[in-house]
Amino acid sequence: MHDLVNLPHSISLAVLNHLPDAIVVVNREGQPLLCNGQAKQLLHNYLTSLWQVDETSPFRILDRHHCPLTPDQLPLRRVLAGDVLENEEFILLQVGGGAVVWVAISGGPCQDTTEAAGIISVRNITRRKQQETQLHQQALHDQLTGLSNRNAFVNQVNAVLAQGRSPNSLALLFIDLDRFKEVNDNLGHGVGNELLAELGHRLRRLAPAHSLVARLGGDEFAVLLEHSDCPTQAPILASQLRDLIAQPFDLQQHDIYIDASIGIALGPAQYLHAEDWLRDADTAMYQIKNIPDSHWFVFDGALQVKQNQRLQVEMGLRQALQNGELRLHYQPIVTISTQAIHGFEALVRWQHPERGLLMPGQFIDTAEATGLIIPLGWWVLEEACRQMQAWTQAFPAMADLTISVNMSSKQFSQKNLVQRVGDTLARTGFDPHRLKIEITEGVLIDHSESIITILEQLRDMGIRLAVDDFGTGYSSLSYLHRFPFDSLKIDRSFIENADQDYEKLEILQSVVRLAWNLGLDVVAEGIETQRHYAQLKALRCELGQGYLFSRPLTPAAVEDILVNQPTLQLPNS
């Protein structure tokens, strides 16, 4: 074997040429003494580019930020000046053609030879760089539309906020598609994706050149408009965007019509973070759902007050959950013919440390909007089952009574819902046959097909299911047979007016009759007067709930009844 020092020149060259990196050795003057095949290939023999700014070279060497190097920064110069380079990234820019080659250069001065003064190795890392750029692009862009994604948009908006702008020179438009879910459900995700991609094009086309356009996720988009008069211009743009969205989409031989709601928040005055700004635009967007035929809404002072209240409720509610400030009250549900208690509905209250006892109307919407309804809902289920089981053991009269628990649409988005309900029942020892879960029609609309399986699984466990507030939502009995319900709770607005309004009475009659045909129990909500009671009795409605029988009761008041009066007596009856 040859000693490394005595290695024949041909072998040294073979070794050097075999290396994947370009190797260049230079003397003190920067003249190349040796270079391998890779170096010739990579630098096309213009090795001087590494040593001096050479106007005749087809390359310019730039730093990683694309800035040209000064002579002192050239890699070989630095090596000869005694620097050691470790995988430092540079760009070789081809003059004219503009081809970009990314290189990582390592090297240093040669100490053990008098002839050679410096050595560098140059690795072509263009592929890796391209992959990095691609990943970076993917991290910031929505694949479907090519628009910025939420992360990128938030960064861009934060950058604009950091630069500072005059008041009302910016507007953030939050766009939410109406009924997009129907497109996905009915025509498939392929068509849904095409629609989103096409929508991305439309938004980009209409939005002014300097505005930022992004897909925030799902069917939500955003535009940041920059204009000297945004209070006037933003609503104009919103109307135009909405009209453009409302034009039919011709996809896979379907003419698809969708609509949009657009919330506008003007800025930048009060905003420090993009997320706060987006939240206000989102809040403005939600107002549209309550105003018929409106398509855009501007966030204003009144909404600001509401928003602040909501934030306070949200913060308070988080603490309430931790500090055990929630309570359950129980409203009796009675058998109309006998007035005996059939069961109770568990209704949540918040014992607020400063504001006293709060009703669901004061916090349920916020809980829904913030997702806090999920932990709240689990607490309600657990507490209702625990309390019922404790009563069952203490009072014989309780043995068969049922408990109705309200569940929100948000809870049905949870994958492990069935499992958790089962666990709660097992933990508390409460009989599933005595648990009724009340859901509103909204849950059925939000979750459509996917919910049938969940409802069937709950029912297989023995749990009974009720449609709550029937008549306020979709109000169509025709779809009810598709879902495995046991009872129908007719909203109190029907009962309220049935004694004066003949038409309401007719509707009430037909709902009771149809529910019977579907094999559903009917529960009438909001029975307040003797007249209501008489009417429902005449309609042969089985169960009722209302102030006439009893208001929602504290646990102590329920115990009082259980001890003294297992059959509720109506006043004056």
Sites of contact with ligand C2E (CB under 6 A): 331, 347-348, 359-361, 364, 373, 377, 380, 406-408, 438, 468-469, 492, 525-528, 545-547, 552
Partner touching 360 among Mg ion, ligand C2E, none, CB below 5 to 8 Å by kind: ligand C2E
Residue with Cβ nearer ligand C2E (256 or 347): 347
Number of residues this chain uses to bind Mg ion (CB under 5 A): 5
Among 382, 468, 496, 521, binds Mg ion (CB under 5 A): 468
Residue 386: exposed, middle, or buried by beta-carbon count in 10 A (0-12, 13-18, 19+)?
A: middle
Residue with Cβ nearer Mg ion (219 or 345): 345
Distances (CA, A) of 453 to 104, 417, 458, 460, 482: 57, 12, 9, 10, 11
Among 121, 406, 408, 545, binds Mg ion (CB under 5 A): 406
> Tokens at residue 515, please?
């529910």
Min dist CB 345 to Mg ion, Å, is: 6
Question: What is the Cα–Cα distance from 175 to 282, expressed in whole angstroms?
Answer: 8
Applying the rule CB under 5 A, the residues between 523 and 552 that interact with Mg ion are 525
Question: What is the Cα–Cα distance from 351 to 260, expressed in whole angstroms?
Answer: 39
Residue with Cβ nearer ligand C2E (441 or 468): 468
Whether 19 contacts 36, CB under 8 Å: yes
Whether 336 contacts 537, CB under 8 Å: yes
Min dist CB 549 to ligand C2E, Å, is: 8
Task: Map tokens 């965007």 to a residue.
Answer: 241
Q: Which of 288, 287, 326 is nearest to 307 (CA)?
A: 287
CB atoms within 10 A of CB 75: 24
Min dist CB 565 to ligand C2E, Å, is: 19
Min dist CB 509 to ligand C2E, Å, is: 20
Q: Residue 521 half-sphere exposure, CB side, CA atoms within 13 Å?
A: 18
Whether 326 contacts 379, CB under 8 Å: yes
Start-to-end CA distance of the chain, whole Å, equals 116
Residue with Cβ nearer Mg ion (181 or 504): 504
Min dist CB 187 to ligand C2E, Å, is: 32
Residue with Cβ nearer ligand C2E (118 or 546): 546
SS3 374: helix
Beta bridge partners of 487: 466, 521
Among 219, 382, 383, 469, binds Mg ion (CB under 5 A): 469
Strands (E), 49-144: 59-63, 85-94, 100-109, 118-124
Applying the rule CB under 5 A, the residues between 414 and 443 that interact with Mg ion are 438
Min dist CB 355 to ligand C2E, Å, is: 15
Residue with Cβ nearer Mg ion (194 or 438): 438
Whether 107 contacts 121, CB under 8 Å: yes
Residue with Cβ nearer Mg ion (382 or 525): 525
Scanning 90-98, 201-209, 288-296, 406-414 for contacts with Mg ion by CB under 5 A, the matching segment is 406-414
Min dist CB 555 to Mg ion, Å, is: 18
Residue with Cβ nearer Mg ion (457 or 493): 493
Partner touching 361 among Mg ion, ligand C2E, none, CB below 5 to 8 Å by kind: ligand C2E
Work out the angle between the directed axes of helices 441-460 and 417-428 (0-180°, nearest 10): 60
Min dist CB 461 to Mg ion, Å, is: 20
Residue 345: exposed, middle, or buried by beta-carbon count in 10 A (0-12, 13-18, 19+)?
A: buried
Residue with Cβ nearer ligand C2E (258 or 358): 358
Angle in degrees, CA 407, 327, 486, rounded to 5:
30
Partner touching 422 among ligand C2E, Mg ion, none, CB below 5 to 8 Å by kind: none
Partner touching 298 among Mg ion, ligand C2E, none, CB below 5 to 8 Å by kind: none
Q: How would you classify the pairing of strands 543-545 and 521-525?
A: parallel
Residue type present at position 313: V
Min dist CB 392 to Mg ion, Å, is: 22
**Residues interacting with Mg ion, by CB under 5 A?**
406, 438, 468-469, 525
